[in-house]
Amino acid sequence: MIGPRIAKGCFNIAYLRSLPCFGNRLSCLPAENSSTKHTPNHPAKRTLKHAIAKLVFALTALMTLGCGETLPPAYKLNSVEFLRQEKLFLGSGEHFDDAYKQEIGSILTALFGTPNEPLVPALLGEDDPVLEVMRPENINMAAGPVSLDYHGKGGGLYRQHCSHCHGITGDGNGPTAAALNPYPRDFRLAKFKYKSTPLRSVPRDHDLTKVLVNGVPGTSMPSFGTLPDGEIAALVDYVKFLTIRGQYERYLMAELSNLDDGEPLIDLKLAQKYHQLAAIEQPTEQQEEELEEVEEQHLDSMWGVVGERLMEDAIERWVDADDNETEIPEAPDAFDSGHDGHRDFVATGRELFYTRGNCAQCHGDTGVGNGQIESFDDWANDWIKTPGVNPFNPKTYKTFTEAGALPPRPIKPRNLTEGRYRGGGQPEEIFLRITNGIEGTPMPATPALTSDEVWALVAYVKFLPYGDVNELPDRQINEKAIAR
Amino acid sequence: MKFYLPAIQQMLVIAICGLFVCCCATAVDAQDGWGTLKGQVVISGDAPEMPLEKVDDHPDKSICLVDGELPKDDNIVVDENGGLRDVFVMMYVKGKGADAPIHESYSKDDEEKELSIDNVKCRFVPHALFVQTGKSVLLKNSDTVGHNCQVTTFNNECNVNLPAGDSVPVKFEKSDKIPGIVNCKMHEWMDGVVLIRDNPYVAITDGEGKFEIKNVPAGEWEFQFWHKKSGYMKKLESGTYKFGRKGQAEVKISNEGETDMGQLEFPTKAFK
């Protein structure tokens, strides 16, 4: 058994709030980073010094608190990822020390608060890039218990509209989740399907807003179009909040296998030693030297966990998300159904469907979605690829379902003859799906096709539900496609 | 295919590269020679019998046969002498290894050593690959059927459609700790393995289980051993070296000629 030796305790957010740093989430921290918005403002290690000091203070408080009070709603630990890390890196029957769960919980609470009292992790104060990603007032409006104030302004929007499916943690595992097909989205993987940015780029606010307003046709996700714009914006920010929190949690868990026996993620003893040394008013030369050394070590250890993993990896990618928008070139004239060359253009799309587009392999020869049907999406792949797990044999993944994973289901390629499109049926939306692929699914991007070819595929996809393919001009389709 | 980086990340990459160059420059001056690390991984116990790939009655079956027969699962490949293929031998980058000087032969601009993952008869060739971050990898398809090539590691990802006979270059920017997987979603049995990492001191064992890493800075370093079906190979046995929990062993690289770790035995019952 390995793990950090830390005191066990319970979270007490009221106490945390009373701390000078976290009580007021914005004004508490020195804004040392002088760079302005929209310029690269990676905090140098030393810029973080004060922020880290406050964080350590809060952490120390959290970890030494006693139990006793009734606990308010809490974010759930990602037990599936914890188990996966154990299976990947430890021998069979070995486990990470439970103290790590406690430590990860404490770090997350110190940074992100609780469902009733969330914190925006703006460690750098008013200039923190996270404030470009989400507005604290939006987070407050979306989180917390359902409420209505004197002016009729709603609070607790997420719990009112989202949590029964997506779960209070955004783990896609609310009370109704197991009964839905497809399962509700788990935000913690930081993957989103219907967006105007390429794979591995986060969605723009515009994309998330569209999903909330339009819903996702063909799934249990309804339209929330009747909500006022301000409430939609609050929910979009809270989805980003839960995503960043969930991804950061996964990063923390990925660090566990890097640690030596008994080594904690954040070395509070080192931090305390540093603060003791720093507090000496008239240090001797030796003490000064020691302080310098300890400071370096302390900043190094905090930099990895807070600077790199939280600020650079989990938050930074959301800043300027709009810059990653995929450009949609104008469709050729023949895309217009009134154009003389339109039928020929659709026939080109059909040819590509069977040949270089590789569409028929999954969507089936007639486009009804009966091609390759044994694939899984990334939310399942995330853990079913663990050695020893066979997604078709429940016995092999019992430990995962016990840890909270929903039983894996193969993902179905879309039936293109229905005329119902989850990411929207506008030609531009279908263009984006084909060009960028659909993140988290087997649907690949198509860098080998020109934009005109993609437009031809869009024309064919739009033609499929309503047109008669036999009326299209004959084309030479390769033998294999005909044989299939 | 181009992976766009947000401006901030680009700045960071530039900053890191700059830092890197500085480090190298100073470190190389101070570096006391370079050596080669070699060795061989063999199994002890019976070689596991690998099942046939689950091709079933896939429409592309005729193209996916190897020598007219259904291929065997190639995740554990052992030759007649017990040599274990596709073991990743990686410098341990925690602690000292993080600052290891990088030899000039590992320059990322070297376009002659172009890396590729080909699709041949519905198999990834090579099955296992190491890619340094920032280096271009050509995803190829030599088959007459379409494939897609989906690379999924903890920190990197891509998923591109590969028409028959076509190719697409990709780059990966973030360093991983352990290898990830390469999949084709049109042929579910296809599964390769790829390591994307900044530190270039990595080798993958060949068909005889042999590995060689050239131009390793002389001195003491830890090297990790990892295989897809066992994870970190902490059960490796050797008369000379002791392997830790993370499959790592300390090796002293001599600046004169080769440092041979000899035969390292891996008990087959340790496969997961």
**B160:A42 CB<8 A:** no
Could you tell me the pLDDT band of residue A36, with boundaries at 50, 70 and 90?
very low
Structure confidence at residue B227 as a pLDDT band (50, 70, 90): very high
- Hey, which residues 214-253 in chain B have their CB within 8 Å of chain A? 228-232, 234, 246
Secondary structure (3-state) at A445: strand
**Burial letters B162-200, b for 16+ CB under 10 A, else e:** bbbebbbbbbbbbbbbbbbebbbbbbbbbbbbbbbbbbb
With CA atoms as reference, the chain A residue closest to B185 would be: A442
Task: Tell me the chain A residues in contact with residue B145 when contact means C-beta distances shorter than 8 Å.
Answer: 361, 480
Confidence at B110, pLDDT banded by 50, 70, 90: low
pLDDT tens-digit profile of A391-435? Answer: 999 999 999 999 999 999 999 999 999 999 999 999 999 999 999
- Side-chain half-sphere of A375: how many Cα atoms within 13 Å? 28
Q: Which residue is closest to A87 within chain B, CA to CA?
A: B231
Q: Please give the mean pLDDT across all residues of chain A.
A: 86
Q: Give just the sign of the alpha carbon dihedral B67, B70, B75, B80.
A: negative
Contact B231 A88 (CB under 8 A): yes
Distance from chain centroid for Cα B89:
8
Mean pLDDT, range A54-73, rounded to an integer: 67
Between B68 and A80, residue with greater pLDDT: A80
- Contact assignment for A442 to B185 by CB distance below 8 Å: yes
Could you check whether the bond before residue A222 is cis, i.e. omega within 30 degrees of 0? no
Tell me which residues of chain B, numbers 56 to 85, contact chain A at a CB-CB cutoff of 8 Å: 59
Task: Domains for chain B: give ranges and CATH numbers.
Answer: 7-270 (2.60.40.420)
Q: What is the pLDDT of residue A45?
A: 63
Distance from the A102 Cα atom to the nearest Cα atom in chain B, whole angstroms: 23
pLDDT tens string A463-474: 999 888 888 887
Q: What is the pLDDT of residue A27?
A: 32
pLDDT at residue A91 in the model:
80
pLDDT, tens digit, 9 for 90 and up, residues A168-179: 999 999 999 999
Taking contacts as CB-CB distances below 8 angstroms, the residues of chain A near B93 are none
Using one digit for the tens of pLDDT, what is the confidence trace for B180-218?
999 999 998 999 999 999 999 999 999 999 999 999 999
From A257, which residue of chain B is nearest by alpha-carbon distance?
B246
Facing residue for B272 by CB, picked from A254, A387, A446:
A387
B 95-134: CB under 8 A from A: none
Residues of B in contact with A89 (CB under 8 A): 231-232, 246
Q: What would the mean pLDDT of A151-165 be, rounded to a whole number?
A: 91
Mean pLDDT of chain B: 86
Burial state string for A269-298 with b = 16 or more CB within 10 A and e = fewer than 16 = ebbebbeebeeeeeeeeeeeebbeebbeeb
Sign of the C-alpha dihedral computed for residues A424, A427, A429 and A430 taken in this order: positive
Contact list, A199 vs chain B (CB under 8 Å): 157-159
For chain B, positions 13-42, list CB contacts with chain A under 8 A.
15
Mean pLDDT of A281-291: 89
Give the best residue of B14, B148, B151 to mutate against chain A (max A CB count within 10 A): B148
- Return the pLDDT at B26: 43
Query: Given an 8 Å threshold on Cβ–Cβ distance, is A199 in contact with B154?
Result: no
CB pairs under 8 A between A and B: 127
Q: Is B1 a residue whose pLDDT tops 80?
A: no
Tokens for A269, please give them.
């003893």
- Higher per-residue confidence, B6 vs B95: B95
pLDDT value at B14 more than 50: no
Q: Are strands A147-148 and A154-155 parallel, antiparallel or unpaired?
A: antiparallel
pLDDT at A307: 85
Name the residue in chain A with its Cα closest to that of B94.
A258
Taking the domains of chain A in order of start, what are their residue ranges? 13-258, 333-375+410-483
Q: What was the pLDDT predicted at A138?
A: 96
Q: What is the pLDDT of residue A125?
A: 84
Cβ distance A199 to B181 less than 8 Å, yes or no, reads no
Q: Cα(A137)–Cα(A120) distance, rounded to whole angstroms?
A: 10
- Is-contact B26 B200, C-beta < 8 A? no
Please name which of B3, B9, B17 lies closest in space to residue B169, comparing C-alpha atoms: B3
- Region B260-267: mean pLDDT is 96
Which pLDDT value is given to residue A235? 97
Contact B159 A388 (CB under 8 A): no
pLDDT above 70 covers what percent of chain B?
Answer: 88
Mutation test of the interface with chain B: which of A133, A189, A200, choosing the one with the most B Cβ atoms within 10 A?
A200
Q: How far apart are CA A4 and CA A268, in angstroms?
A: 10
Contacts of B149 in chain A (CB under 8 A): 444
pLDDT at A23: 36
CB contact under 8 A, B188 and A388: no
Distance (Å) from the C-alpha of residue A359 to the closest C-alpha of chain B? 9
- The pLDDT value recorded for residue B201 is 96
Q: List pLDDT tens digits, range B158-167.
A: 999 999 999 9
CATH code given to domain A333-375+410-483: 1.10.760.10
Contact A316 B232 (CB under 8 A): no
- For the question of an ipTM over 0.85, the answer is no
- pLDDT of A129 reads 93
Contact B164 A356 (CB under 8 A): yes
What tokens were used for B39? 């060795």
Tell whether the model's pLDDT for residue A58 goes beyond 90.
no
Angle at A463 between CA A462 and CA A464, to 5 degrees: 95
> CA triplet A394, A395, A397: central angle to 5 degrees?
70
| B 163-192 residues with CB < 8 A to A | 163-164, 166-168, 177-178, 181, 185-188
Residue A44: pLDDT band by 50, 70, 90 thresholds?
low
Is the pLDDT at A199 greater than 60? The verdict is yes
Q: Which of A198, A355, A375 sits opposite B185 (nearest CB)?
A: A375
In this structure, which amino acid lies at residue A434? I
Say if the Cβ atoms of B159 and A446 lie within 8 Å: no
Q: Closest approach of chain B CAs to the CA of A224, in angstroms?
A: 31
Task: Test A317 with B3 for CB contact under 8 angstroms.
Answer: no
Of A89, A316, A378, the CB nearest to B232: A89
Query: Between A21 and A166, whose confidence is greater?
Result: A166
| Amino acid at position B31, single letter | Q
Name the least confident of A136-140, A265-269, B180-184, B236-240: A265-269
Q: How far apart are alpha carbons B16 and B9 in whole angstroms?
A: 10
Tokens of B205: 């064992």
**Band of pLDDT at residue A47, cut at 50, 70 and 90:** low
> Which residues of chain B have a CB within 8 Å of the CB of A315?
none
From A383, which residue of chain B is nearest by alpha-carbon distance? B154
Tell me the per-residue pLDDT of A4-25, one tens digit each, with 9 for 90 and over.
Answer: 333 333 444 444 444 444 433 3
Query: Mind spelling out the 3-state secondary structure of chain B?
Result: CCCCCCHHHHHHHHHHHHHHHHHHHHHHHHCCCEEEEEEEEEEECCCCCCCECCCCCCCCHHHHCECCECCECCCCCECCCCEECCCEEEECCCHHHHHCCCCHHHCCCCCCCCEEEEEECCEEECCEEEEECCCEEEEECCCCCCEEEEEECCCCEEEEEECCCCEEEEECCCCCCCCEEEECCCCCCCEEEEEEECCCCEEECCCCCEEEEEEEECEEEEEEEEECCCEECCCCECCCCCCCCCCEEEEEECCCCEEEEEEEEEEHHHCC
Contacts of B167 in chain A (CB under 8 A): 448
Closest CA to A429 of A211, A235, A219, A218: A211
Return all residues near A308 (Cβ < 8 A) that are at least 6 apart. Answer: none
Is B1 in CB contact (< 8 Å) with chain A? yes
